[in-house]
Structure 1
Amino acid sequence: MNSRARTLLRVHCTVLIPAIAPISVGLMSTAELDGITVAYDDLGTGLPVVLVHGHPFNRSMWRPQAERFSREGYRVITADLRGYGETTMPPESTKTGLDVFAKDICRLADRLGLGRFVLGGLSMGGQIVMEFHRTYPERVAGLLLADTSPQQETEEGKRVRNEMADRVLAEGLNPYAEEVLTKMVSPENVRTMPDVAAHVLGMMRTTPKEGAAAALRGRAERPDYRESLTRVEVPALVVVGTEDEFTPVADAELMHDLIPGSTLAVIEGAAHMPNLEREAEFNDVFARFLKEID
Structure 2
Amino acid sequence: MLLLIHGHPFDRTMWTPQLARFDAIAPDLRGYGTAEPASGKTAMSTFADDLAALAPDVPLVLCGLSMGGQIAMEFHRRYPERVRALILADTTARAETTQSRQDRLDMADRLSREGMEPYAREVLSKMVAPGNNEAAEHVLKMMLSAPPEGAAAAQRGRADRPDYRESLRAHPVPTLVVVGSEDEYTPLDEVKLIPATHVVEIRGAAHLPNLERPEEFNDAVARFLAAH
Q: What is the SS of the residue equivalent to 1:68?
A: coil
Quick check: 1:102 aligned with 2:48? yes
Q: Among 67, 80, 85, which residue is 2:28 paired with?
A: 80
Which residues of 2 match residues 113-128 of structure 1 at below 5 A? 115-128=58-71
Q: Among 199, 202, 207, which residue is 1:267 paired with?
A: 202
What residue number does 1:4 align with?
Answer: none
Q: Distance in 2 between matches of 1:212 and 1:155?
A: 21
Quick check: 1:149 aligned with 2:95? no
1:278 counterpart letter in structure 2: R
Deviations 1:196-220 (A, max 9, x none): 1100000000000010010011110
Q: Distance in 1 between matches of 2:76 and 2:222?
A: 21
What residue number does 2:107 align with?
Answer: 164
Matched residues, number: 228
Structure with higher helix content: 2
What residue number does 1:68 align with?
Answer: 21
Quick check: 1:285 aligned with 2:224? no
Quick check: 1:52 aligned with 2:9? no
- Note the C-alpha offset of 1:233: 2.9
What residue number does 2:127 align with?
Answer: 184
What residue number does 1:133 align with?
Answer: 76
Q: Distance in 2 between matches of 1:162 and 1:63?
A: 30
Q: Percent identity?
A: 56
- Note the C-alpha offset of 1:247: 0.7
Q: What is the SS of the residue equivalent to 1:237?
A: strand
- Note the C-alpha offset of 1:234: 2.2
What residue number does 1:224 align with?
Answer: 163
Q: Distance in 1 between matches of 2:221 and 2:77?
A: 22
Q: Distance in 2 between matches of 1:204 and 1:65?
A: 19
What residue number does 1:233 align with?
Answer: 172
- Note the C-alpha offset of 1:158: 1.4
- Note the C-alpha offset of 1:231: 2.5
The runs of 5 or more residues in structure 1 that have no matched partner are 1-47, 71-75
1:51 counterpart letter in structure 2: L
Q: Among 180, 183, 200, which residue is 2:139 paired with?
A: 200
Q: What is the SS of the residue equivalent to 1:95?
A: coil
- Note the C-alpha offset of 1:178: 0.3
1:142 counterpart letter in structure 2: A
The runs of 5 or more residues in structure 2 that have no matched partner are none
Deviations 1:168-198 (A, max 9, x none): 11111011000000100012xxx3x211110
- Note the C-alpha offset of 1:89: 2.7
Q: What is the SS of the residue equivalent to 1:50?
A: strand
Quick check: 1:214 aligned with 2:153? yes
Q: Distance in 1 between matches of 2:37 and 2:64?
A: 20
Q: Distance in 2 between matches of 1:196 and 1:241?
A: 14
> What TM-score does the superposition give when structure 2 sets the normalisation length?
0.97
Give the aligned CA root-mean-square deviation in angstroms.
Answer: 1.1
Deviations 1:140-182 (A, max 9, x none): 1110000000111111111111111111111110110000001
Structure with higher strand content: 1
Q: Distance in 2 between matches of 1:235 and 1:227?
A: 15
- Note the C-alpha offset of 1:105: 0.3
